[in-house]
Amino acid sequence: MKISACVANQRGEHQVSLRTDDREHSLLIVPKADGSRSSVNGSELLFLALATCFCNDLYRGATKRGMDIRRVEVGEKVSAR
């Protein structure tokens, strides 16, 4: 499996593209109000990655066990200071 990510930023524009093997998609992240940089920081994206990983693991484990999960929400309870 080959995974890659690309960020392209210029004033007023912030583009994020992700690829796993031949499947590519984009993620909408707007630039900061002043038009530069990303409106999210790396720590926020790391927490999103952890929450997404946990959610996907729940679905994968449930499928292997013949269980039907209808909704998963990961957040609010996870924080760092």
Instruction: Provide the whole-model pTM.
Output: 0.72
Would you say residue 13 has pLDDT above 90?
no
Give the sheet arrangement for strand 3-10, strand by strand: 3-10, 13-20, 23-28
Instruction: Express each pLDDT in 56-67 by its tens digit.
Output: 999 999 999 999
What's the pLDDT score for residue 78? 56
**CB distance 24 to 17 below 8 Å:** yes
What's the pLDDT band for 75 if we cut at 50, 70, 90?
A: confident
Domain map (residue ranges) of the chain: 1-38, 40-69
